[in-house]
């Protein structure tokens, strides 16, 4: 293909991806063919993050889960777009070799939005957090994103100001994020307060879910700001959110499936222990979450990992259903 034609093609993709870049601005994303075609043809696309691959789970569970969740999206006629950075290039949708590269990279970085330009300069390989993934997905015109858990206000966050960039980003992107709530390693009450400040619409899915879920357990002690009964009602809420032209995001929390919530108490005890250890060892900043996830998995002899995998799959299933239904309303 001549340079000129490939240039025009690239611009067409960018236009289809929902954001026009000026002639003087380089397009910063590498879109997987299925994703750019899907966006052009108004097919539902579901964004997936990759810190979960690089820092959330050990190999080979990370790779297996990444491949399985993509398959779940496809089974629902939804195009998966795993977002991450390989050798300094931001990928939206990945080939299997690229997922393998991420899952096996031993010095992969954890990249929140602020880290993206640095990763491009140094050619880093890394997993994008919810904040970076959401920013990239929205820039490409992807409307729905599913993950396991999000970051939040850390315990003692009122002193340390350790408030995940995920919350701020939810305030700045009109995107729908499906998660299993907020881990009890965080201050759930303050996290919900902060989300209100950021104008984020938060609802728990399921008619028995009056409290906000706490990732490994179906219910925290904190009431959910709102509830929706079903995927259908969730999509109706998104439609109103769009009509109102609200610039911030929507967060849907899906409680962990009953079967895996059974070990919740044991996992909660392990979390308490890991949080104390992290504090004693002066583990700070973006190292806290990966440390606790790894330690809780050790302490529960793999139970937390099993629960983690099952809830992610469940969230991707619901996320795909939402993405599909929402797209049906748009066309």
Site residues (CB under 5 A) for Mn ion? 162
CB 272 within 8 A of CB 251: no
CB 90 within 8 A of CB 108: no
Among 151, 255, 264, 319, binds ligand PSU (CB under 6 A): 151
Q: First-to-last CA distance in the chain? A: 33
Residue closer to ligand PSU by CB (options 51, 315) is: 51
| Position 286 contacts ligand PSU (CB under 6 A) | yes
**Smallest distance, Å, CB 110 to ligand PSU?**
7
**Smallest distance, Å, CB 206 to ligand PSU?**
19
Separation CA 116–CA 124 (nearest Å):
9
Residue closer to ligand PSU by CB (options 82, 164) is: 164
What does the DSSP 8-state code read for residue 225? Answer: S
56 binds, among Mn ion, ligand PSU, none (CB under 5 to 8 A by kind): ligand PSU
CB 120 within 8 A of CB 42: no
49 binds, among ligand PSU, Mn ion, none (CB under 5 to 8 A by kind): ligand PSU
319 binds, among Mn ion, ligand PSU, none (CB under 5 to 8 A by kind): none
CA angle 233, 235, 239 (to 5 degrees): 115
Give the count of beta carbons closer than 10 Å to the beta carbon of residue 268: 17
Where in 136-247 does DSSP place strands (E)? 144-146, 176-179, 201-205, 227-228
Compute how many residues bind ligand PSU; rule: CB under 6 A: 18
220 binds, among Mn ion, ligand PSU, none (CB under 5 to 8 A by kind): none
Instruction: Mark residues 175-194: x for contact with ligand PSU by CB under 6 A, - for none.
Output: --------x-----------
Residue closer to Mn ion by CB (options 131, 263) is: 131
Is 183 known to be catalytic?
yes
**Smallest distance, Å, CB 310 to Mn ion?**
26
Please name every residue paired with 221 in a beta bridge, in sequence order, or none if there are none.
none
Residue closer to Mn ion by CB (options 70, 162) is: 162
| Contact positions with ligand PSU (CB under 6 A) in 44-103 | 49, 51-52, 56
Q: Which of 34, 33, 133, 29 is nearest to 74 (CA)?
A: 34
Token pair for 257 = 């499936």
Residue closer to Mn ion by CB (options 114, 210) is: 114
Q: Which stretch binds ligand PSU (CB under 6 A): 8-16, 96-104, 164-172, 243-251?
A: 164-172
Residues 6 or more apart whose Cβ sits within 8 Å of residue 136: 29, 47, 83, 90, 92, 116, 128
Token pair for 216 = 């490994």
> 304-316: buried (b, 16+ CB within 10 Å) or exposed (e) per residue?
bbebbbbbbbbbb
- Phi, psi (rounded to 5 degrees) for 62: -60, -45
Among 148, 213, 255, 264, binds ligand PSU (CB under 6 A): 148
| Position 220 contacts ligand PSU (CB under 6 A) | no
Catalytic one of 109, 113, 143, 183: 183
N residues, the chain = 331
CB 108 within 8 A of CB 54: yes
**Smallest distance, Å, CB 182 to ligand PSU?**
8
Residue closer to Mn ion by CB (options 70, 187) is: 187
What does the DSSP 8-state code read for residue 223? Answer: B
Catalytic residue ranges: 49, 183
Which residues of this protein are in contact with ligand PSU, per CB under 6 A? 49, 51-52, 56, 129-130, 148-151, 164-166, 183, 215, 286, 289, 293
């Amino acid at each position: 293909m001549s340079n000129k034609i490939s240039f025009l093609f690239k611009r067409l993709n960018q236009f289809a991806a929902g954001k026009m870049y000026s002639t003087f601005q380089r397009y910063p994303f590498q879109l997987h063919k299925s994703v750019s075609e899907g966006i052009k043809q108004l097919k539902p696309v579901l964004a997936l993050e990759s810190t979960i691959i690089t820092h959330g789970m050990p190999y080979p569970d990370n790779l297996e889960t990444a491949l399985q969740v993509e398959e779940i999206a496809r089974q629902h006629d939804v195009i998966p777009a795993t977002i991450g950075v390989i050798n300094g290039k931001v990928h939206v949708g990945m080939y299997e070799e690229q997922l393998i590269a991420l899952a096996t990279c031993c010095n992969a970085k954890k990249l929140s939005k602020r880290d993206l330009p640095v990763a491009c300069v140094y050619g880093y390989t890394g997993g994008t957090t919810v904040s970076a993934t959401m920013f990239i997905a929205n820039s490409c015109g992807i409307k729905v994103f599913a993950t396991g858990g999000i970051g939040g206000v850390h315990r003692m966050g009122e002193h340390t100001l350790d408030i995940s960039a995920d919350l701020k980003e939810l305030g700045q992107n009109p995107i729908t994020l499906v998660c299993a709530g907020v881990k009890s390693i965080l201050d759930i009450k303050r996290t919900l307060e902060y989300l209100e400040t950021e104008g984020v619409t938060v609802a728990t899915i399921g008619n028995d879910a009056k409290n906000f879920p706490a990732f490994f357990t179906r219910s925290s002690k904190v009431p959910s700001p709102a509830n929706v009964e079903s995927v259908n009602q969730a999509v109706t809420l998104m439609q109103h959110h769009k009509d109102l032209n609200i610039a911030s995001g929507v967060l849907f929390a899906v409680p962990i499936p009953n079967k895996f919530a059974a070990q919740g108490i044991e996992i909660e005890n392990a979390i308490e222990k890991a949080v104390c250890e992290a504090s004693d060892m002066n583990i700070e900043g973006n190292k806290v979450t990966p440390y606790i996830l790894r330690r809780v998995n050790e302490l529960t002899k793999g139970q937390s990992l099993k629960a983690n995998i099952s809830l992610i799959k469940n969230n991707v299933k619901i996320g795909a259903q939402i993405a599909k239904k929402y797209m049906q309303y748009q066309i």
